[in-house]
Structure 1
């Protein structure tokens, strides 16, 4: 990267949609992550979560966001609404089959000793689909937000092509080979 961009790169999507993988790709490519390492890697995310605790409190404190220009931060789609609107964002919106997302969440809950409530799966799939559609419509109306849909299965299937597309869309000179090398197809464990 030659000059720091004026925007914050936001990696967003549903939980379990590949956001941590995308953060890892961006870091390998040369975009510094905004992350604190508090949530440690585990069986569900063996390469790490790339989370930043203050993201959860965006409605109370947004002071750190403007200072994150030129970096990448993972923000779950529901919290993007709380980002300050005077900052420009380029959002990499992870798109993964919603049934796969829900199955992955259920397995994670079981490993944590919690009941996933499997009987509610169809309702949850429909809810997620509606919320993602509403989010996309909202983002399209914002002057400070650009969104690039990233197909999770497409990234896993052809990481080099995905990395090149992401770098071109961001307008950054990234190490796309390094980005592609961090994609681990073995972690695509909950296929539809």
Structure 2
């Protein structure tokens, strides 16, 4: 079911480390035209690549690149969604992941880079929860944005079923099996259950 006249922009969004790169990889495998420049190379944290497009990060200063993305998909962290111009139609695939996992994944990535987290894990979880509430409220008031929430863990468990749902939401005749094949459960690290066990073993302050 392909909408040939649908020129809306597909935005893959969510918190950093929430599965946005996986979703971009799925769309690409399914046959959708994705916007990426490969400036940020694959590494130990994202061995399958980041699938980013550098101009997205500067959308507050320059959105001149946006018209060329109509009918295509790009990745954008949730912090930048509020910068999207209102004169376009968007389909937002919003990745959702347990905040404990998101924070742990971000912390470990920063540690590998020799950098310190901005705040302790518990504080970061609260900050992200508040941010997501703000984004939810903002999206609810946008008539030009269609929203589809994608649970990261469920995609790993049932990739083909979720690929089909995503194709239906986008109104595109995507290759569902190809999308499912690129989902790699072995890359699911920093699982909530394991993190809880680690916290229970850690001595208190």
Using the size of structure 2 for normalisation, the TM-score is 0.90
Structure 2: give runs of 5+ residues left out of the alignment: 193-205
Structure 2 equivalent of residue 136 of structure 1: 136
Measured after TM superposition, the shift of residue 2 of structure 1 is 7.0
Structure index of larger Rg:
2
1:154 aligns with 2:154: yes
Is the CA contact 1:65–1:83 (under 8 Å) kept in the aligned structure 2?
Answer: no
1:185 aligns with 2:185: yes
Structure 2 equivalent of residue 96 of structure 1: 97
Give the alignment's Cα RMSD to 1 decimal: 1.2
Deviations 1:51-103 (A, max 9, x none): 01101110111111122011110011111111111010000000000000000
Is the CA contact 2:18–2:95 (under 8 Å) kept in the aligned structure 1?
Answer: yes
Is the CA contact 2:3–2:171 (under 8 Å) kept in the aligned structure 1?
Answer: no
Using the size of structure 1 for normalisation, the TM-score is 0.96
Distance in 2 of aligned mates of 1:48 and 1:94? 17
Distance in 1 of aligned mates of 2:53 and 2:95? 18
Distance in 1 of aligned mates of 2:47 and 2:5? 30
**Runs of 4+ deviating beyond 3 Å:** none
Measured after TM superposition, the shift of residue 5 of structure 1 is 2.8
1:52-91 mapped onto 2 (5 Å cutoff)? 52-91=53-92
Is the CA contact 2:8–2:89 (under 8 Å) kept in the aligned structure 1?
Answer: yes
Structure 1: give runs of 5+ residues left out of the alignment: none
